[in-house]
Amino acid sequence: MGGGNSHRGFGLNQAGPRDPATGFPLGGSALFLNNFELRFPPPTLPWVGNNMSFAIFHDMGNVFTDGNHMLTSLLRWHQAKGLCTQPIGSAFTPGAGAARCNYDFISHAIGVGVRYKTPVGPVRFDFGYNLNPTTFPDFCAVKDSSGRCIVLNFVSRKQASPFNVYFSIGQTF
> pLDDT tens digits, residue range 25-84?
888 899 999 999 999 999 888 888 889 999 999 999 999 988 888 888 888 877 876 556
Classify residue 13: in a domain, yes or no.
Answer: no
110, 133 in Cβ contact below 8 A?
no
172, 123 in Cβ contact below 8 A?
no
Classify residue 16: in a domain, yes or no.
Answer: no
Domain that holds residue 124: 30-169
Contact partners, residue 1, CB within 8 Å, separation at least 6: 7, 10, 13, 15, 16, 31, 33, 61, 62, 63
> pLDDT tens digits, residue range 94-148?
444 445 678 889 999 999 999 999 888 889 999 999 999 888 776 666 677 887 7
**pTM tops 0.75:** yes
**How many domains, the chain?**
1
